[in-house]
Chains A and B, each alone.
Chain A
């Protein structure tokens, strides 16, 4: 590529994710990039975004990036230091708009695997399991995913459905008993922004990041993506977003890494 764009893929992903969070909404985040996106949103576009952590932290004034979703930063000068049942119940009664998830594998319906690669009985790789991911994706209104995109990760069939996306397609979540009108909302990768087609519940590309082609995306996806007639292009990070991200959100570049 001629000339560096002046930001890296992680910075772009975090900026794009932050714009998806509306002011006045509530979000449960984990550590790392999702937390950075929520912190950036609070400082740029959504000052009244309410950040929560599944271990009990509510509305902290995050002084720095937490290392654990239960460490002391997650309730630093918060409005409440509560409990896990309290946060999960808040999700279950419909007060949490967004959650942010990732996983080792994701399929076209947004189902996530973070349990095993290979068989459950004798896994090739044992991964941590659901943690709170299944809970959040079952109960929050909109599930956002922030993940690098490649063929190992974006697969036709996940080895284990840890966390529900749209399961097998239209109506499947409701049929399984999950709360209506919930499900995956956006997938933000290092290549593009993906939404979900209403008719099929499959992933549909919304916009390509600067310098990324349709072919790049398809080469890095293990299933057929849907495409709109005209695919948009992702707005690059603004100078303001980058400045705040680098200066205030992640000054030690724990998450955004090096340019």
Chain B
């Protein structure tokens, strides 16, 4: 067995030096997605993607990475489902720290993601969800590792790059999880101001730590809001502006994923992805139609049913569709639309 690779080794003093020099002025950072990707995503970079696979994901940026043909990327596969599926379909990645990839939870396995592994096209190191979450946390704290009581005794540990240590106080065995500092974090949030102060509604998964761990942070947001709105309720600010390099306003930016309180996942479209992946040629055509052949995310949304589809998904998210269905006379298929 080849020695598992530590793709991003911890270096806390290099991190401090980098962050000392990082621009921290509160100035507007709003740019279009294509420009943000040109500026912040370079061939070979190691990426961390926020949200949770099909929930609050920065789809527009992932599509743009494919459109710009950026290759050789590394990825933290911290429940990377549809996000991984997109990058795999575009063959944009060549190495991955795996916690959860390839699957789309209850929806099934991605054929094209599987092919990359099964044809040996990826360098792979195994971890777990907590391991990657705590690796971000270690980096966010500026320490080289965090101890944890997971993975011990398993092949997951043997195929990881983690090391065992003895606790200096209690003598127990611990796993030392190395700090993970991605070159770039890409995170979709509910609202941000032009400076990059970001608020997330609902679970924030690991995104607070991810934004602090990464060298650069690219934010997409459902909506830009006046700075006053952030200052009115600062308790909700998960990511403050000084962490952020660029802000892009992308309404419905998590589509076809779920955006809590905004719209539900488009299960039909996710099924269409999985179906297209069964055959490489069909996947090529699918990618051409929905991603490579489009100029921007709004065009993709239009192809997927546009405002009408998004209205349905909003009703699903808010469970208004059920209320409408419950009140609809039996046999009235037309009733209950938008009032």
Residues of A within 8 A of B (CB): 30-32, 54-57, 63, 67-72, 74-75, 81-85, 88, 92, 111, 115, 120-135, 138-139, 160-164, 167, 172-173, 175-179
Given A72-B260, A161-B154, A176-B153, A127–B102 Cβ distance below 8 Å? Answer: yes
Question: Is the beta-carbon distance between B131 and A71 smaller than 8 angstroms?
Answer: no
Question: Is the beta-carbon distance between A129 and B173 smaller than 8 angstroms?
Answer: no
Question: Is the beta-carbon distance between A167 and B105 smaller than 8 angstroms?
Answer: no
> Chain A's nearest CB lies how many Å from the CB of B61?
19
Residues of B within 8 A of A128 (CB): 100-103, 109
Residues of B within 8 A of A130 (CB): 98-100, 126-129, 156
**B331 contacts the other chain (CB 8 A):** no
> Chain B's nearest CB lies how many Å from the CB of A165?
10
Q: Which A residue's beta carbon lies closest to that of B105?
A: A68
Question: Is the beta-carbon distance between A85 and B152 smaller than 8 angstroms?
Answer: no
Residues of B within 8 A of A179 (CB): 149
Residues of B within 8 A of A135 (CB): 128-131, 150
Residues of A within 8 A of B209 (CB): 85
Within 8 Å by CB of B133, from A88, A120, A125, A138, lies: A88
> Chain A's nearest CB lies how many Å from the CB of B84?
10
Question: Is the beta-carbon distance between A84 and B130 smaller than 8 angstroms?
Answer: yes
**B315 contacts the other chain (CB 8 A):** no
Question: Is the beta-carbon distance between B133 and A68 smaller than 8 angstroms?
Answer: no
Residues of A within 8 A of B208 (CB): 83
Given A88-B129, A176-B173, A83–B203 Cβ distance below 8 Å? Answer: yes
Given A130-B127, A176-B173, A57–B203 Cβ distance below 8 Å? Answer: yes
Question: Is the beta-carbon distance between A83 and B1 smaller than 8 angstroms?
Answer: no
Question: Is the beta-carbon distance between B149 and A92 smaller than 8 angstroms?
Answer: yes
> Chain A's nearest CB lies how many Å from the CB of B130?
4
Residues of B within 8 A of A160 (CB): 155
B residues 108-142 in Cβ contact with A at 8 Å:
109, 113-114, 117-118, 120, 124, 126-131, 133-134, 137
Residues of A within 8 A of B106 (CB): 31-32, 67-68
Question: Is the beta-carbon distance between B107 and A63 smaller than 8 angstroms?
Answer: no
Question: Is the beta-carbon distance between B154 and A72 smaller than 8 angstroms?
Answer: no
Question: Is the beta-carbon distance between B55 and A55 smaller than 8 angstroms?
Answer: yes
The 6 closest A-B pairs by CB, nearest first: A176-B153, A177-B173, A70-B52, A56-B203, A128-B103, A126-B117
Tell me, in angstroms, the Cα distance from A82 to B139 when the chains sit together. Answer: 20
Q: Show 14 residue pairs from A and B whose CB-CB distance is below 8 angstroms, ordered by the A residue.
A: A68-B81, A70-B203, A72-B202, A85-B137, A120-B124, A120-B159, A123-B117, A126-B118, A127-B109, A161-B153, A163-B154, A176-B152, A178-B152, A178-B153
Question: Is the beta-carbon distance between A72 and B100 smaller than 8 angstroms?
Answer: no
CB 8 Å contact bits of B71-99 with A (1 = contact, 0 = none): 00000010101000000000000000011
> Chain B's nearest CB lies how many Å from the CB of A218?
28
Which bracket fits the contact residues of B?
A: 35 or more
Question: Is the beta-carbon distance between A139 and B258 smaller than 8 angstroms?
Answer: no
Question: Is the beta-carbon distance between B156 and A132 smaller than 8 angstroms?
Answer: no
> Chain B's nearest CB lies how many Å from the CB of A35?
10
Within 8 Å by CB of B149, from A30, A63, A127, A138, lies: A138
Given contacts A83-B203, A126-B117, 5 further A-B contacts (CB under 8 A): A67-B105, A72-B317, A120-B126, A121-B120, A138-B152
Q: For A31, A126, A138, A139, which residue has the most chain B Cβ atoms within 10 angstroms?
A: A126
Residues of B within 8 A of A138 (CB): 149-152
Given A31-B105, A139-B149, A70–B79 Cβ distance below 8 Å? Answer: yes
Tell me, in angstroms, the Cα distance from A173 to B149 when the chains sit together. Answer: 11
> Chain B's nearest CB lies how many Å from the CB of A143?
13
Residues of B within 8 A of A72 (CB): 55, 202, 258, 260-261, 264, 317
Tell me, in angstroms, the Cα distance from A97 to B127 when the chains sit together. Answer: 23
Question: Is the beta-carbon distance between B203 and A126 smaller than 8 angstroms?
Answer: no
**B303 contacts the other chain (CB 8 A):** no
Within 8 Å by CB of B203, from A32, A81, A120, A175, lies: A81
Residues of B within 8 A of A69 (CB): 52, 105
Question: Is the beta-carbon distance between A134 and B53 smaller than 8 angstroms?
Answer: no
